[in-house]
C-alpha cells in the first residue's frame, strides 16, 4: 500500500473503532442493567413499572459515565503528542544537549524528519525506564512527539536506534498516531465504571445500620464487575487495531533504512535482555500499550497489542533460531551491551552521506512515481538528509536552535530578492515584532539565505520548527500575522514564497491546537472542481513562459484528475494569493482523491518533460500544505 491507501485504511479503521466502541458500550449497558435487576429488581414488592424505571436510570447512568469519561480524556489529550509524553514522565531533549546519547538521538530524528519531509518532532526521554521501548504520539506530524526510554539509548547502537525511530516515523506518516490517541480517549470511558467502583469500595464506609450502605455496596460491586468486562473489551479492541499496524510499521522501517539488521538487532536485545520492553515507571503503561514499539505491559493471546518478538525477528531474519537468542542472552548477562561503544567498534559514528544535485539540475519524473513517494522515504532519502544537514551553514544551524533567533530565521526565508519589496517586508516585520527581529531577518537573508541551495530551505525550516513551537502562544500569533503580511506585501510574491508561508502557518496553527485539525478528509474529487482548476492554472502559469505552454500543462493536469470534466484555463487575476480560498477544500479531500491531485500537480509541473530542483521544492511545499509530505528529492538513486 502507498501513503494514500494507508490513509484510507486508517480512516476505515477509525470507523471500525467507532463500531467496536458502540458494541462494547451496548454490552456494558446490558451487563449493568442485568446486575441492577438481580440486585434490586427481583423483590416481592417490585412492579414492572419500578423495574422499567430502574433499567432506564441504570442505562442513563452508564451511558453518562462512559460518555463523560471519554469526553474528559479526549479533552485532556487535545495538546497532542506532548501531552501524552509528559503524562508518562517524559523529559524534553534539549536542542543543544551535550549528552552523547541524546545528541545521537536528535541527529537520527532530525535526519529522518528531513528525509520524510515533515517537521522535526518534539523529543522526550523516559529517564527512569531501563527497558528498550519508544512511542510516537500526536494528531499530525506538526504536533508529533517521539519518546524513547533511557534503556534504548544505552543499549542500542546507531543502526538499531535508526530502526526503532524509523518504525515510529512509520506511525507518524501512516496516520497511526491520530488513531492511537483517539483510541486512548475512547477506551478511557469504558474503564470509568471500574474506576468508580474501585474508588467507592476503597473509600466508602458500609458498617452500621445505614440502609443505604448495602445499596451503595451493591452498585460499587456491579460497577467493578462490569468494569472488568469493559477492561476486557478495551484490551481486545486495542489488540485488534494495533497488531496489524505494528507489522506494517516494521516493514516500513526496513524499507526506510533498506536493511533489516538494525531493527532486528533492537528486537533481539528486547528478547535477550532482562529488562526487555516492559515499562516500570511510566504511569499507566497499559493505556498506551498499543502505541509502544515493544510490548510494554506483557499481555498475551487475544489481548496482545504486538506480535510475539520472535515472530517479528523471524519476519526480518527467517533463519534466526531460539538457540541463537539463548547464546545472546548468556553473553549479555555477563557483559550488557553499550550502544555508544558498539557505534565506535562498528563504525557507526555517522550515517553514510550523499551529494546534493546542483541547484540548476533537472530530472525526469512521472505522476505515479511522485505519488508513490509521498510519505514513503527510502534509504537514499536518508542519505540525502544527512548530506542536507551537513550542507546547511553552521551559522544557520546555530540560529535554528536559538529561541531568540528562530522567528527571524524563518522570516528571512520569506524575504524577496527584490530590494524594494524586501524593504516593505522589513517594515512589516518591524511593525509587528520590533526592529531588532526585522534587522536580524534581513541580515540572515543577505548573509546566507539569499544564496541558499533550494533543497536546503524546507529542511532548515523543519530543523527550526521544534524551537519555534517553544515560543509563547501570543508571540506565535504575532508570528503568523507577520508571515501573512510578509508573503502578501505586494502582488509579486513567488509561488514558493507563498506556499512556504502558507505551510508554516498550517504547521504552527496545528501545533497550537492539534486536536482541532486532526480529521481524515472525506470530500470527493468532483466536489472541488473549481479549487483544483485554480491550483493547476496557477502552477501551470508560473512554470511556463508562454500562455500556450501553460494551457497545455494545465490540461495535462486536469486530464489526470478530472478527465471527463471541462473547466476553462483561467488563472486568477490576483495571482497566488487567490489560493487562500482553495486550501481548506483541497485538504479535506478523501485520501485517494488527494493521490489524484498530487499526480495532477506533478503532471502540470513536469509537462515540459523535466522538473528543476526549484520546481521540485515547490511541489514538495504544495504537498506539505495538503499533508502529503514528499522526501527531499524526487528521483531515486
CB 303 within 8 A of CB 150: no
Strands 145-149 and 91-92: unpaired
- DSSP output for 286-307: GGGGGGBSS-SS---GGG-SS-
The per-residue pLDDT for 360 is 84
Residue 468, classified by CB atoms within 10 Å of its CB into exposed (0-12), middle (13-18) or buried (19+), is buried
Tell me the mean pLDDT in the region 312-330.
92
Q: What is the pTM of this model?
A: 0.84
CB 460 within 8 A of CB 509: no
CB 178 within 8 A of CB 139: yes
CB 285 within 8 A of CB 266: no
Residue 241, classified by CB atoms within 10 Å of its CB into exposed (0-12), middle (13-18) or buried (19+), is buried
pLDDT digits (tens, 9 = 90+) for 148-187: 999 999 999 999 999 999 999 988 887 778 778 878 887 8
If pLDDT is split at 50, 70 and 90, which confidence band does 396 have?
A: very high
Cell 474506576, located at residue: 195
10 Å Cβ neighbour count for 563?
8
Q: How far apart are CA 25 and CA 189, in angstroms?
A: 9
pLDDT digits (tens, 9 = 90+) for 110-122: 999 998 888 999 9
Whole-number Cα distances in Å, 393 to 339, 417, 456, 576? 30, 20, 10, 31
- DSSP output for 108-152: HHHHHHHHHTSPPPEEEEETT--S--EEEE-SSGGG-EEEEEHHH
| Confidence check: pLDDT of 25 > 90 | no
The per-residue pLDDT for 204 is 60
Q: What is the SS3 assignment for 527-571? A: HHHHHHHHHHHHHHHHHCCCHHHHHHHHHHHHHHHCCCCCCCCCC
pLDDT digits (tens, 9 = 90+) for 192-238: 777 777 777 766 655 555 555 666 677 777 777 777 777 777 777 77
CA-nearest of 450, 344, 469 to 406 is: 469
Residues annotated catalytic, as ranges: 168
Cell 422499567, located at residue: 52
Instruction: Tell how far CA 514 is from the center of its chain.
Output: 11
- Alpha-helical runs (H) found in 403-434: 406-413, 419-433
The per-residue pLDDT for 78 is 81
Stretch among 215-219, 313-317, 581-585 having the lowest mean pLDDT: 215-219
Q: What does pLDDT average to over the chain?
A: 85
- 442 vs 306 pLDDT, higher one: 442
The per-residue pLDDT for 518 is 60
Tell me the mean pLDDT in the region 583-593.
91
Per-domain boundaries in the chain:
12-345, 362-377+519-625, 379-517
Angle at which helices 3-36 and 176-203 pack, to 10 degrees? 20
pLDDT digits (tens, 9 = 90+) for 449-480: 999 998 899 999 999 998 998 889 899 999 99
The per-residue pLDDT for 600 is 95
Q: How many residues are given for the chain?
A: 637
SS3 for 207? coil
If pLDDT is split at 50, 70 and 90, which confidence band does 513 have?
A: confident
Stretch among 193-202, 505-514, 553-562 having the lowest mean pLDDT: 193-202
- Alpha-helical runs (H) found in 141-210: 150-155, 158-174, 176-203
Return the percentage of the chain with pLDDT > 70, whole number. Answer: 92
Strands 91-92 and 134-137: unpaired
DSSP H or E segment with residue 209: none
Cell of 630: 514528499
| Confidence check: pLDDT of 66 > 90 | no
Q: What's the chain's Rg over C-alpha atoms?
A: 27
The per-residue pLDDT for 22 is 82
Contacts of 463 (CB under 8 A, 6+ apart): 110, 114, 120, 389, 392, 397, 400, 401
Amino acid at each position: 500500500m502507498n501513503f494514500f491507501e494507508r490513509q484510507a485504511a486508517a480512516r476505515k479503521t477509525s470507523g471500525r473503532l467507532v463500531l467496536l466502541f458502540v458494541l462494547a458500550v451496548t454490552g456494558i449497558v446490558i451487563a449493568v442493567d442485568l446486575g441492577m435487576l438481580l440486585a434490586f429488581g427481583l423483590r416481592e414488592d417490585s412492579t414492572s413499572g419500578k423495574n422499567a424505571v430502574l433499567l432506564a436510570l441504570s442505562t442513563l447512568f452508564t451511558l453518562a459515565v462512559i460518555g463523560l469519561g471519554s469526553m474528559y480524556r479526549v479533552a485532556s489529550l487535545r495538546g497532542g503528542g506532548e501531552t501524552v509524553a509528559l503524562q508518562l514522565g517524559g523529559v524534553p531533549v534539549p536542542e543543544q544537549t551535550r549528552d552523547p546519547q541524546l545528541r545521537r538521538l536528535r541527529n537520527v530524528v532530525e535526519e529522518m524528519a528531513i528525509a520524510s519531509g515533515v517537521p522535526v518532532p518534539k523529543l522526550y526521554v523516559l529517564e527512569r525506564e531501563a527497558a528498550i521501548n519508544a512511542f510516537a504520539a500526536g494528531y499530525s506530524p506538526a504536533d508529533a512527539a517521539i519518546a524513547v526510554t533511557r534503556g534504548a539509548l544505552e543499549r542500542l547502537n546507531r543502526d538499531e536506534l535508526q530502526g526503532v525511530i524509523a518504525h515510529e516515523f512509520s506511525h507518524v506518516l501512516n496516520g497511526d498516531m491520530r488513531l492511537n490517541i483517539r483510541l486512548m480517549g475512547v477506551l478511557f470511558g469504558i474503564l470509568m465504571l471500574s474506576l468508580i467502583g474501585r474508588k467507592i469500595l476503597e473509600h466508602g464506609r458500609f458498617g452500621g445500620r445505614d440502609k443505604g450502605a448495602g445499596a451503595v455496596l451493591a452498585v460499587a460491586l456491579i460497577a467493578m464487575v462490569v468494569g472488568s468486562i469493559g477492561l476486557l473489551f478495551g484490551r481486545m479492541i486495542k489488540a485488534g487495531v494495533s497488531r496489524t499496524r505494528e507489522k506494517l510499521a516494521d516493514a516500513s522501517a526496513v524499507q526506510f533504512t533498506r536493511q533489516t539488521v538494525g531493527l532486528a538487532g533492537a528486537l533481539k536485545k528486547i528478547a535477550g535482555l532482562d529488562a526487555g520492553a516492559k515499562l516500570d515507571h511510566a504511569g499507566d503503561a497499559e493505556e498506551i500499550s498499543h502505541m509502544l514499539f515493544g510490548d510494554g505491559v506483557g499481555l498475551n493471546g487475544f489481548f496482545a497489542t504486538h506480535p510475539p518478538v520472535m515472530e517479528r525477528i523471524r519476519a526480518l531474519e527467517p533463519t534466526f533460531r531460539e538457540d541463537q537468542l539463548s547464546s545472546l542472552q548468556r553473553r549479555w548477562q555477563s557483559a550488557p551491551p553499550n550502544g555508544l561503544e558498539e557505534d565506535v567498534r562498528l563504525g557507526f559514528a555517522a550515517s553514510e552521506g550523499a551529494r546534493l544535485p546542483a541547484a540548476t539540475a533537472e530530472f525526469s519524473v512521472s505522476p505515479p512515481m511522485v505519488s508513490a513517494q509521498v510519505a514513503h522515504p527510502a534509504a537514499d532519502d536518508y542519505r540525502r538528509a544527512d548530506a542536507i544537514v551537513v550542507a546547511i551553514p553552521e551559522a544557520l544551524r546555530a540560529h535554528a536552535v536559538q529561541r531568540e533567533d528562530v522567528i527571524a530565521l524563518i522570516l528571512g526565508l520569506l524575504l524577496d530578492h527584490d530590494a524594494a519589496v524586501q524593504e516593505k517586508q522589513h517594515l512589516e516585520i518591524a511593525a509587528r515584532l520590533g526592529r531588532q527581529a526585522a534587522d536580524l531577518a534581513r541580515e540572515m537573508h543577505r548573509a546566507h539565505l539569499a544564496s541558499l541551495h533550494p533543497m536546503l530551505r524546507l529542511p532548515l525550516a523543519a530543523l527550526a520548527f521544534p524551537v519555534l513551537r517553544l515560543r509563547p502562544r501570543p508571540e506565535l500569533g504575532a508570528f503568523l500575522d507577520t508571515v501573512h503580511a510578509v508573503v502578501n506585501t505586494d502582488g509579486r510574491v513567488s509561488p514558493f514564497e507563498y506556499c512556504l508561508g502558507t505551510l508554516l502557518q498550517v504547521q504552527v496553527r496545528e501545533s497550537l491546537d492539534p486536536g482541532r485539525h486532526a480529521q481524515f478528509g472525506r470530500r470527493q474529487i468532483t466536489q472541488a472542481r473549481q479549487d483544483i482548476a485554480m491550483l493547476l492554472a496557477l502552477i501551470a502559469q508560473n512554470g511556463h513562459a508562454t500562455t500556450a505552454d501553460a494551457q497545455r500543462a494545465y490540461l495535462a493536469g486536469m486530464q489526470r484528475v478530472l478527465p471527463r470534466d471541462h473547466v476553462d484555463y483561467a488563472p486568477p487575476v490576483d495571482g497566488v494569493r487567490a489560493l487562500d480560498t482553495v486550501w481548506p477544500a483541497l485538504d479535506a479531500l478523501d485520501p485517494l482523491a488527494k493521490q489524484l491531485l498530487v499526480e495532477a500537480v506533478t503532471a502540470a509541473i513536469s509537462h515540459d518533460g523535466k522538473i528543476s530542483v526549484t520546481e521540485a521544492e515547490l511541489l514538495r511545499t504544495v504537498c506539505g500544505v495538503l499533508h502529503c509530505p514528499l522526501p527531499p528529492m524526487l528521483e531515486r538513486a
